[in-house]
Structure 1
């Protein structure tokens, strides 16, 4: 899919800024009634790491297990991240350093790493190999960059650089077990993925909407965190909402990549929408009461959406999981969204995000192909 996370330091700054926002009586001002809500596993905390893409999409896979009638496994998000960092390093060297290297990634990274490396339960691989209780990747990130910068400066490469680079990552996150026991049976990461998790990576597709490219064809999403240069299906803006709604009504959840840097995204209040008045033109009172209850929203067009992406007001900075639909007291629908910043906000780790916000600020989303409406699947030639 799309790049979903900032680098560790930038992600920390963004999270801290959002967590510092004071509640404007958001929970008492908004009254949400659940319409649809698929089952999801517990809320996690990505800590000081830009791994939202791994947390959100592994949470999505856990919900897929539930949907398939399986007992969900608490999947090791940092196992996925560790494998992506290795593959990212390979691409970085192949591209002579001319590609993104930070913590950030995309929903498709989780599917790709699952297909190549398999999966591990959290109890087998926590990624906490140096005494911390939560992720803290700043030092490791600096060393990753230093090692690879030195590698690409060499006039000719030896085959040892990848071994040294991998050993450095494993010194922070822990070595991956070749085999492990889980509930009385021995697995490898690949056999665990096949026999216990049981998803088929080929069943998952990602989509977005940009008027800069032909609709109903594949395109490469040009964001820094798409380091693997994966392609997505390009659809019309209203198709995005119709697809998400269709999937949720059929019991599927969504791995969602978006921009959360706007003033009208409030982590503390657990609400995101697009005010009818631009924030810079609001009165002090309007700014102070943005989250005191439902407000009129700006109507979003495809041209607005494209312009926001082109002028960097929509940035590729976070990934979450859409699990359901709710209505506020006026009858307007919002998506129920699971985050990975712990339970410190008004809704214990969840948010209510308006459909207009999703129209405007989505950079891409990933879902099971059977969640896509039949007519759109036919247009996209998805079998």
Structure 2
């Protein structure tokens, strides 16, 4: 990867849910690739409204690291917004440190925390705050000859190791288990460099984060929308991969898109956690929307034409959004990066979304996602506080 950035011509992710055996990502991606129409690009005519500069699309491979790819992509765009030359940041550096912290949490919680390599948007900010950042070239995570991430074996072994620690066979935990656990991760991903050179100067991860990347972790906020908590207050996001029990700010559903719109207009991109398991999300076609008719009630002809052209959408309310989450129809299974806004030939607005599954779909790794889909399926967004409308910011006390 290079440090250059591009302004995408078209319209973020790995699974936030990822099993210890590592199969969930591959199975979902394969199913999404089969969920398509042949003539999507002919039926949809998109016109860009906002298209923020961002770094090249990457491929997370067989790993549940979408949260790290999407939010590191977001940080790279933050560097561009601040007038800096963006650096391709190591997503696996963030992930490696989160795995270490998650393992400690798992043992302290007696095994009552989700394992695997899934995570949340705030994990990248938290790891940045504690550990700093490293260029991707200095820490690829490809430590044993693979060209792309392949984490299933590591996940299975580290899970077994932590389960053994929790069983506490000695009766008292040794002082060595954390070192042994981190060493097991590093044997797969590589040892983190204590120092490295970048453009002729030596850095530590902490000094690189401060002097080159230059973001302030305190400048960022994570938000969601659920009606079982008071609006404009903070609550613990109850999803399995929130292993750190971070809190997010709660806003009404219509304000989610109001916030994203305001951010994009002011030049701020948005890191986005969502559900992509529905048949009306097509990675291959690069389109996601919410049809008025449930897919399970469609006949074969209707299903085949899901992405043939723009179609009417279901109205999204606070109530049906909440019901989808409560019924497990909406889960935190993917993270992506919102980088722009577009309209189709009928004037409907779509967010331009950067994914991390490579460039194999119809829009070279980008997707067009309707605002209704974002309202319905978002589990969280993360952005610079400066992108939040001032009236909403005041209500949130930011």
Query: Which interval holds the TM-score relative to the shorter structure?
Result: over 0.9
The aligned counterpart of 2:324 is 308
Alignment of 1:1-383 (within 5 A): 4-7=16-19, 8-154=22-168, 155-382=171-398
How much does 1:102 deviate? 1.1
Deviations 1:102-147 (A, max 9, x none): 1100010000000000000011000000110000000000011011
Deviations 1:54-111 (A, max 9, x none): 0000000000000000000000000100000000000000000001111100010000
Distance 1:123 1:356 in 2: 38
Structure 1 unmatched runs, 5+: none
Judge conservation of contact 1:215–1:235 (CA < 8 Å) in 2.
yes
How much does 1:4 deviate? 2.8
Distance 1:152 1:184 in 2: 45
Distance 2:55 2:280 in 1: 27
Judge conservation of contact 2:90–2:135 (CA < 8 Å) in 1.
yes
Distance 2:17 2:358 in 1: 16
Greater shift after overlay, 279-288 or 105-114?
279-288
Q: TM-score, with normalisation over the residues of structure 2?
A: 0.94
Distance 1:267 1:187 in 2: 39
Q: Secondary structure at the match of 1:123?
A: helix
Distance 1:322 1:332 in 2: 17
Task: State how many pairs are aligned.
Answer: 380
Q: Secondary structure at the match of 1:322?
A: strand
Distance 1:144 1:18 in 2: 29
Distance 2:31 2:111 in 1: 31
Structure 2 unmatched runs, 5+: 1-14
Distance 2:295 2:37 in 1: 18
Q: CA RMSD in A?
A: 0.9
Judge conservation of contact 1:5–1:51 (CA < 8 Å) in 2.
no
Judge conservation of contact 1:257–1:363 (CA < 8 Å) in 2.
yes
Q: Secondary structure at the match of 2:49?
A: strand
Judge conservation of contact 1:24–1:288 (CA < 8 Å) in 2.
no
Judge conservation of contact 1:105–1:226 (CA < 8 Å) in 2.
yes
Distance 2:183 2:255 in 1: 45
Distance 2:162 2:18 in 1: 19
How much does 1:23 deviate? 3.5
Q: Secondary structure at the match of 1:232?
A: strand
The aligned counterpart of 2:5 is none
How much does 1:156 deviate? 1.5
Judge conservation of contact 2:332–2:379 (CA < 8 Å) in 1.
yes
Q: Secondary structure at the match of 2:137?
A: coil
Distance 1:184 1:309 in 2: 50
Distance 2:45 2:309 in 1: 8
Q: Secondary structure at the match of 1:181?
A: strand
